[in-house]
Structure 1
Amino acid sequence: MPQFGYFLSCEEHTPAELVEQARMAEQAGFTSLWISDHYHPWNDNQGESPFVWSVIGALSQAVSLPVETAVTCPLVRLHPAVVAQAAATSAVQLAGGFRLGVGTGEALNEHILGDRWPEASVRLEMLEEAVHLMRLLFTGEQVSHRGRHYSVENARLYTVPDEPVPIDVSAFGPQAADLAGRIGDGLITMAPDRTLLERFRGSGGGKPVYGGLKVCWGTDGEEALRTAHRLWANEQLPGELLQILPTPRHFEQASQLVTRQHVQAAVPCGNDVEVHVAALTKYVEAEFDTVYIGQIGKEQRGFFEFYGNEVLPRLGA
């Protein structure tokens, strides 16, 4: 049986709201936290995007739960040497209870400095080099590196945890799953895709798998569906659009093609316990190690009461 964590959405909430949600998550019985790392929200309706490393510092003083970024892109906007320092400090603040989730990112967040947005195969190559470099820095030794994509001169992290920060790799396709199996300490993905998981496990052995699911709890199921469609229709866009569209405005335009029926098929909405349990059972059957649930919208307190009292006990959590 997997563990169940809570997915903090920096795209929707202020730093203070995220800290309060983390407290409620701990009280409700969730065992860990994911937190998104964005420069922009996906659309203006979501409306927020605080700097994740500041929020993690606040979380370290507010709750005792482990935290992971889901996910950080250490490729373009932030150099991997800078991400390594942020991750190492977070691990110290959280007494070792920090994992660094990494992925190849989205133009939405990474194009802001005017850098070229590479194609997917190049980004995978950059990610492999970035992970290698960050692991060198996590040793606390002085590092000089001349690679194909990154250079570092005489860099040393003085504030490091007792154990190197675990690095989990996000994957949604076969090439990324192979890379995650080869270089990651675990896999991050969203859907309970057995084919993807088998590909990862075939490449990397018995490493843990972490999944995520967004839901929209509410006493009025139709209103919950409207909220999910208004805020997160972007998640139902096909193909590589999530990686290549550059601004929230572009996502708003593309999301006009996403119907409420598309969202209803993907997002458990309302307060029917069976609907929520059925969605999470798919992750249980796919043998995920931890599943992170994120509540869409402002109805946070009701969500935590519902999950703490009704859903998590049904799943043996």
Structure 2
Amino acid sequence: MKLALALLLLAIPAHAATYYVTVAGLGGEPDYEQRFKAIANDLDQSFQSSPSNHVSTFTGPQATKARLTEALTQIAHEAKPEDELVLTLIGHGTFDGVAYKFNLPGPDISAAELAELLNRIPTRRQLVVDTTSASGGALSTLQRANRGVITATKSGTEKNATVFARYWAEALQDPTTDTDKSQSISAMEALQYAERKTAAFYESQKRLATEHAVFEDTGRGEGVRIGTQQGRQGALLSSFTVLRIGTAQAAMNDPAKRDLLAKKEQLEQQIDALKYQKAAMDPADYKKQLTDALLALAAVQEALEQ
């Protein structure tokens, strides 16, 4: 095991960075302005938990199309392929039957313009969480291979103000969101938490739900709801770490363990991918690849615990 561990450590790649961009858009009235800003600040606090994260948060008069464009353009120049990006949109959106727009102080930004900016960023994996009204109208434009897209509404016709954003932020502050006890919160775990809390809100208010969150993470096809996905739908969200907590966060803040943690997460992603591919693989090949990955994961875990 020690020889295998030594060889594994030599193969560990440089630590991948995560870029977080959060935008609280135009509220239209004081209550919404305060609500959107508070949610953005909660997310900012969660993302700032590790000094290795790159965090940009825009609220109020700073949340303009120009500032957002500048931030994403800067990331496009700085980011490396092994890095990851999380973009969160909070506020109001509109959909005219053809195009979706995110409402900002001054000019709005369209889903097509956002997609163009994101496509220039070389990060190997991206996550877009659009929590606005009518956000479902942006999904088909934003989707791309290796990009997970979560929208608070299933279509552009669900135009009422949403509560999903509140529970998405809460999911990243509640340790119970980490259902697999991996000391990290995946996009799928956060989505499951937020969807469950959103449904409970409408039930408690005895109101008909006017928002139904969907996701798409294969780069093709329609948005789907939790529990209805088939094939590889959900594979990216399940392996995409939005936030590390507990011992994983401590390891991330320890330069001596940071690369080990990156390798651990890489192996976990490989194992998740294998499980989704199992039906199409030769059984013997699947068993060998899974066994090799599990042994490597055990070796990295041993090193982290030393």
Report the TM-score, using the length of structure 2 for normalisation: 0.36
Tell me: higher relative CO, structure 1 or 2? Use CA pairs within 8 A at least 6 residues apart: 1
Report the TM-score, using the length of structure 1 for normalisation: 0.35
